[in-house]
Amino acid sequence: MNELGVEPSVTRWNDGEARFLDWTIDGVALRDMVPTQHQTPLFLDDDRWRESAVETLCRLLGDLPGDFDDGRVALLFCPLCGDLGCGGYSVEVVFGDDVVEWRAFDWQYDYEPLDPSEEYKFTGARFDRKAYETLLRDLLSNYRA
């Protein structure tokens, strides 16, 4: 069983930076596994992304449909605009009785079907469902406040 968490992170571009919470799997930041400037919508100091954070957390909990036509959920977004036309790092989320799985990580664009690649891809992660839902619902209550 893997452990899902979050940790403070920062992304930088030509004329700015953003502070946010990055996903961790077994203590390793997702952006360390997938070298990118893309980020989660879990901003630490920018309320403009609050709605996106709430929607992403609801999608990861299965309360809303995925970001893409195939049901996949974006984990990392473009840091400038959050537009999935710029591409996003997405995952298939599968719920079992006691387990939540993140499967088939890959880059995806909202204007075309997923074209699986081997770059920056790993097989998946399995989380204890109770711990997963507790973490995401705690984050959700913080972003809704």
Q: Which helix (H) or strand (E) covers residue 30, if one does? A: helix 30-33
For residue 89, the surrounding DSSP H or E stretch is strand 88-95
The answer on pLDDT for 95 being more than 80 is yes
Predicted confidence at residue 121, as pLDDT, reads 64
Q: CB–CB of 128/99 below 8 Å?
A: yes
Share of the chain above pLDDT 70, in %: 97
Please state the domain count of the chain. 1
Token representation of residue 118: 């081997």
Tell me what pLDDT residue 47 has. Answer: 79
Number of helices (H), then strands (E), belonging to the chain: the values are 3, 7
* pLDDT-based confidence at residue 36 (cuts at 50, 70, 90): confident
Residue 143 and residue 53 in contact, taking contact as beta carbons nearer than 8 Å: yes
- List 68's β-bridge partners, or say none: none
Q: What pLDDT does residue 117 have?
A: 74
**CB distance 25 to 125 below 8 Å:** yes
User: How confident is the model over 61-72, as pLDDT tens digits?
Assistant: 999 999 999 999
Which residues does residue 23 pair with via DSSP β-bridges, in sequence order?
6
Question: What does each C-alpha distance from 20 to 6, 13, 91, 101, 127 come to in angstroms?
Answer: 9, 14, 20, 23, 22
Average pLDDT, the chain: 90
Q: Which domain holds residue 124?
A: 4-144
> What tokens does 86 get?
């710029």
Tokens found for residue 22: 């990055």
Query: Strand pairing partners for 4?
Result: 25
